[in-house]
Amino acid sequence: DGGITQSPKYLFRKEGQNVTLSCEQNLNHDAMYWYRQDPGQGLRLIYYSQIVNDFQKGDIAEGYSVSREKKESFPLTVTSAQKNPTAFYLCASMRTTGPGTEAFFGQGTRLTVV
């Protein structure tokens, strides 16, 4: 089955640690996205990538980093510079053959600072 896989589902981070969230897709989509979701805030874009080895900052990129070495993979690192990292993180992918295409989402990773 084609889809997007995020791992782990739950992640705990100590203060001052970097953690990496995994996102893999087998849909052959060019574009991939990372969103942060907080209660009552909707989804806010962290980073996105439309081709391999290229990515752009979204609205709330500070304290996060990404890489896109393979089309299938778009890992997100939450660095110690992110002061309030506890949130639900969603990865998505989309074809870029034209506007109005559907975004497919993973099941999310819930990150908690302990």
Partner 1 sequence: AQSVTQPDIHITVSEGASLELRCNYSYGATPYLFWYVQSPGQGLQLLLKYFSGDTLVQGIKGFEAEFKRSQSSFNLRKPSVHWSDAAEYFCAVEDSGAGSYQLTFGKGTKLSVIP
By CB under 8 A, name the binding residues for partner 1: 4, 6, 31, 33, 35, 40-43, 45, 48, 50, 58, 88, 90, 92, 94, 96, 99-103, 105-108, 110
Helix (H) / strand (E) element for 55: namely strand 54-57
- Closer residue to partner 1 (CB): 101 or 112: 101
Side-chain-facing half-sphere of 111: CA atoms under 13 Å: 28
- Closer residue to partner 1 (CB): 27 or 80: 27
- Choose among 12, 92, 80: nearest CA to 46: 92
Q: How far is the CB of 112 from partner 1 (least distance, A)?
A: 13
* 3-state SS, residue 35: strand
